[in-house]
Structure 1
Amino acid sequence: MRNQHDSKHLAALREQTETTLREIIGDMRDIAILDVPNQRNVGDSLIWAGELAYFKRLGYRIRHISDLRTYDAGDVRASLKRGGVVLLHGGGNLGDLWPGHQKLREKVADELRDFKIVQLPQSVYFESRALAIRANETMSSHPDLTILLRDNESISRAQDQLPDLNCVFCPDMALGYEPPRRTGREPQKHILVIARADHESATNLRDLGTSWASPSDVYVTDWWLDSAETVRWRVARGVTRVQAFMMRARHRLRRRLRIRVSGFRLPQSWMKLALIAINEENVKHGLKLYDRASDVLVDRLHGHVFGVLLGKNHVMVDNKYRKLGAIYDDYTGMFSTAHYSTTVPDAQRRILEGMDR
């Protein structure tokens, strides 16, 4: 569990986030939230859980929800016909490393010019100067769009790569999630390693094996195993796939008939329930992973955030563009359970020293 110092620091970060959201979103209470996670990534689901916690505390009413494949401008307008604000889910995909999310972001900016748009806290990273220029031109043409950024390195990159956008600092919203209290059962003498297996990885963390911490057990994963899927997760995922199929059919009919086609979609309430269920199951899986471990070694940002929220001793190494280090330097490095290493061997040493306490 978190100590008193960590709890006070977390409360201050939450207050700062709530103040920023009130200032940026304004007096509107009805919101649409787009690009909601629909995958196995526990970190994205943790951000979503934090977002929901803030929306509830601030009294926002979610009128529309969609994921990467089920966004439709007409559906958003129908849901916000009395006015509201369009929010884009936060995370680490503002840039060209995850092009699908960036294309959706630019499409939303182009198609929903009659709504205030707020991008919830993100990290910024473009490898391509040309793609950064295009993103800057497309998004800055919107009359009322604000980008919230979760670290000062992203603010600096945005000043260079997205100079015409209104960018405001706001802590990562996963910190708004409050985990359930543990049962009191002591964790196993067990090291959990959350290691990236994608193109953001900058280390060999996933290749460490288990012999380096003998006789302690070491469990290595990239957040998720297929065996962790629950019946609820599979059913909810099926609902979203049906919605995506129906919307593809609707778009094809629109192109062929050149008229607006109504219908061909599931009720909004179904999508809300399905996406909430998928993300709740992901977070439950993350909680189980951490509950079994005494110490954690991570190169995923929200592996670090999970450690902070649960008061779990953990050591982090960075991804390819210092996504973890930037946030650690700005505010999460003040948590007593968080430790940052620049190399994997140093991180291993610090984990083993921590277990000897």
Structure 2
Amino acid sequence: MVLKAVSVITHAVVNIMKRAFIVVLLCVFAQRNVGISNWAGLVVAAVGVYAYSTEKKQKQGTSMDGRLLGLRTYKAGTFTLSVLTGLVILSVNFSDSSFGSSPEEQGREEDVYTLYSNVTYDSNNHTSVKDEFLKWRLVDHPTETDQMSPLMTSRYDVINEAQRIHMNLFSDLIGRYKYAMLFDVADYENKGDPAIAVGEIRLLRRLGIQLVYYCVTSKCKAGAIKTAFEESKLYSNDDLVILLQGGGNIFSYETPETVRKLVITTFTKHKIILFPQSIWFRYTAKKVRRYAHMYNQHDNLTVMVRDRLSLKRAKGVFTRANIILAPDMAFQIGPVSRFMPPSFDILWLKRRDAETTGYVTPVFPAHVSVRVSDWIHWHSPCNDSSMEKTFTIATNGMMFLQRGRVVITDRLHGHILSTLLGIPHVILDNNYHKVSSYRHSWTRGVEFVKFANTSVQAADMAMELLQIYNSTLPDIIQYDVKHN
């Protein structure tokens, strides 16, 4: 029916425009990434339709039907070009092409194993890598700090290497400062974030930097930031550095983002360090751009990321900040000996928040005792000060994990703290590949850690770890059967 009214070439041109519309609509409504080649293709298609419709008008015969058909074709081409231009403008405003994609799209576009396929670690060449790498001043190689960690199989070696990297980097970054202010110190029951804060405090003590002000997350409001700024006037900008808590909440969680905005827009003349973060574009593209603009306005900001997937994302967001790849700050805690007996064969630390993949816990054999829970509900005792509370929560997280002879977890710090404690464990990924990417960057060689793709596989691996390490694992404490 269409070919009765238009020529074959006109039909083909219209069909091309249909494909161009689909590309733009995906960009506008599905938040798909659009690169330079995509934009070039859309422009070529639009210009082609315009040129063809114009020539079509000129070459139509002198008959009324020909003139009408030419006019219709010309108007259709002009209308198509106008609509396409409008959609392109919309896609610039609403798409996520500049700053990543939606969480669902991230799962498709960035496979962790593909990302690391170009990062090769030759265990046979370990000696030559070590000799050269150990000479590096790491601030001169900010994105190549993970050269040795994946080669290490001992927990002690991995921990020591993480601490060495920290000291190498931070000695250059903040070693000359005498004083520091730390904002957004975690004082809530997600045990991993307080563990990060503990590591940050330990680092400052090792560097001999005096902490003159801090505020915990629950109290880090505008008034607290204003008070800190007034106190900062007691110190020279050359003596005082501003620090922001690390974690996995940049571009994804409102409360810490608000704190960072207050700090960055208040301390405009100070050096600011954002401790290692994982990046998740949970926000809309428009909101990501707004926060990115805020970060990019500061003249002396260093953003540290703790895995290569976040490094890739950071490079598309931060245009002015110094970007550095570094291990999680909880490694500053160092190795910890187990200090309480287990209660179960397997302790499954299972997250139930926005980062879960929604997997189902499988059934275990009757002779294996298993406890499945999230440590957010494992409440910590009260303390006299907010900083003491932070340290207590981190320690309580270690108590939580020690309840299992073996651990299964989809929380990153379930993995990190289990590594510090020497607990054999299995890790599952979260929904934006934070756990797997961190493992690939720093802990992939640790001998008592396994990575599972499914919950069933995780259960099988945990059973295997129970058999392998049975003789060295502490026995389950026996409780009385009767209880109140």
Q: Quick check: TM above 0.5?
A: yes
How far the C-alpha of 1:224 sits from its partner, in A, is 3.3
Q: Return the letter of the residue paired with 1:212.
A: F
Q: 1:11 aligned to 2:160?
A: yes
Q: 1:70 aligned to 2:181?
A: no
Q: Return the letter of the residue paired with 1:293.
A: G
Deviations 1:72-100 (A, max 9, x none): 333223333213011001100111x2112
Q: 1:114 aligned to 2:269?
A: yes
- The residue number in structure 2 matching 1:208 is 361
Give the counterpart of 1:301 among 407, 412, 416: 412
In 1, the alpha carbon distance for the partners of 2:295 and 2:465 equals: 46
Q: Given that residues 190 and 376 in structure 2 are in contact (C-alpha distance below 8 angstroms), is that contact kept between their aligned partners in structure 1?
A: yes
How far the C-alpha of 1:137 sits from its partner, in A, is 1.1
In 1, the alpha carbon distance for the partners of 2:303 and 2:382 equals: 37
Change (3 A) 1:315 1:200: same
Q: Return the letter of the residue paired with 1:156.
A: K
Q: 1:82 aligned to 2:235?
A: yes
Q: SS in structure 2 opposite 1:193?
A: strand
Deviations 1:297-316 (A, max 9, x none): 00000000011101111111
Q: 1:334 aligned to 2:445?
A: yes
- State, as a whole percentage, how many aligned pairs show the same letter: 25
Q: Given that residues 36 and 275 in structure 1 are in contact (C-alpha distance below 8 angstroms), is that contact kept between their aligned partners in structure 2?
A: no
Give the counterpart of 2:260 among 105, 120, 123: 105
In 2, the alpha carbon distance for the partners of 1:85 and 1:352 equals: 48
In 1, the alpha carbon distance for the partners of 2:204 and 2:329 equals: 11
Q: Return the letter of the residue paired with 1:73.
A: I
Q: Given that residues 361 and 455 in structure 2 are in contact (C-alpha distance below 8 angstroms), is that contact kept between their aligned partners in structure 1?
A: no
How far the C-alpha of 1:213 sits from its partner, in A, is 4.2
Q: SS in structure 2 opposite 1:191?
A: strand
Q: SS in structure 1 opposite 2:272?
A: strand
Q: Given that residues 344 and 404 in structure 2 are in contact (C-alpha distance below 8 angstroms), is that contact kept between their aligned partners in structure 1?
A: yes
Q: Given that residues 122 and 148 in structure 1 are in contact (C-alpha distance below 8 angstroms), is that contact kept between their aligned partners in structure 2?
A: yes
Deviations 1:185-229 (A, max 9, x none): 76455211111111111132xx527x4243121112211336x33
Tell me which stretches of 4 or more aligned residues in structure 1 moved more than 6 Å: none
Give the counterpart of 1:283 among 387, 394, 408: 394
Larger Rg: 2
Deviations 1:34-58 (A, max 9, x none): 0010211111111111112211111
Q: SS in structure 1 opposite 2:370?
A: strand
Q: SS in structure 2 opposite 1:66?
A: strand
- The residue number in structure 2 matching 1:348 is 459
TM-score under structure 1 normalisation? Answer: 0.81
Q: SS in structure 2 opposite 1:282?
A: helix
Matched residue count: 309
- The residue number in structure 1 matching 2:307 is 151
Deviations 1:223-258 (A, max 9, x none): 1336x33243xxx5xxxxxxxxxxxxxxxxxxxxxx
In 1, the alpha carbon distance for the partners of 2:270 and 2:382 equals: 38
Q: Given that residues 153 and 446 in structure 2 are in contact (C-alpha distance below 8 angstroms), is that contact kept between their aligned partners in structure 1?
A: no
Q: SS in structure 2 opposite 1:176?
A: helix
Q: SS in structure 1 opposite 2:269?
A: coil
Deviations 1:320-343 (A, max 9, x none): 110001110011112222211121
How far the C-alpha of 1:26 sits from its partner, in A, is 4.2
In 1, the alpha carbon distance for the partners of 2:427 and 2:246 equals: 21
Q: Whose relative contact order is higher, 1 or 2, with alpha carbons under 8 Å and at least 6 apart?
A: 1
Change (3 A) 1:199 1:303: same
Give the counterpart of 2:202 among 45, 53, 56: 53
Change (3 A) 1:13 1:129: same
Q: Given that residues 136 and 164 in structure 1 are in contact (C-alpha distance below 8 angstroms), is that contact kept between their aligned partners in structure 2?
A: no
How far the C-alpha of 1:29 sits from its partner, in A, is 2.0
Q: Return the letter of the residue paired with 1:208.
A: T
Q: 1:225 aligned to 2:400?
A: no
In 1, the alpha carbon distance for the partners of 2:461 and 2:431 equals: 21
Q: SS in structure 1 opposite 2:444?
A: helix
In 1, the alpha carbon distance for the partners of 2:211 and 2:277 equals: 21
Q: SS in structure 2 opposite 1:142?
A: coil
Q: Given that residues 351 and 410 in structure 2 are in contact (C-alpha distance below 8 angstroms), is that contact kept between their aligned partners in structure 1?
A: yes
Q: Given that residues 203 and 344 in structure 1 are in contact (C-alpha distance below 8 angstroms), is that contact kept between their aligned partners in structure 2?
A: no
Change (3 A) 1:189 1:26: closer
TM-score under structure 2 normalisation? Answer: 0.61
In 2, the alpha carbon distance for the partners of 1:137 and 1:76 equals: 24
How far the C-alpha of 1:164 sits from its partner, in A, is 3.6
Change (3 A) 1:174 1:26: same
- The residue number in structure 2 matching 1:129 is 285
Q: SS in structure 2 opposite 1:297?
A: strand
Q: Return the letter of the residue paired with 2:364.
A: W
In 2, the alpha carbon distance for the partners of 1:55 and 1:26 equals: 9
Q: Return the letter of the residue paired with 1:42.
A: K
1:7-46 pair list within 5 angstroms: 7-46=156-195
Deviations 1:114-152 (A, max 9, x none): 211110010111132212211221111111111111111
1:255-294 pair list within 5 angstroms: 274-294=385-405
Q: Given that residues 117 and 146 in structure 1 are in contact (C-alpha distance below 8 angstroms), is that contact kept between their aligned partners in structure 2?
A: yes
Q: Given that residues 37 and 275 in structure 1 are in contact (C-alpha distance below 8 angstroms), is that contact kept between their aligned partners in structure 2?
A: no
How far the C-alpha of 1:179 sits from its partner, in A, is 5.2
Q: SS in structure 1 opposite 2:154?
A: helix
Q: SS in structure 2 opposite 1:356?
A: helix
Q: Structure 2: which 5+ residue stretches go unaligned?
A: 1-151, 469-484
In 1, the alpha carbon distance for the partners of 2:382 and 2:220 equals: 22
How far the C-alpha of 1:112 sits from its partner, in A, is 1.1
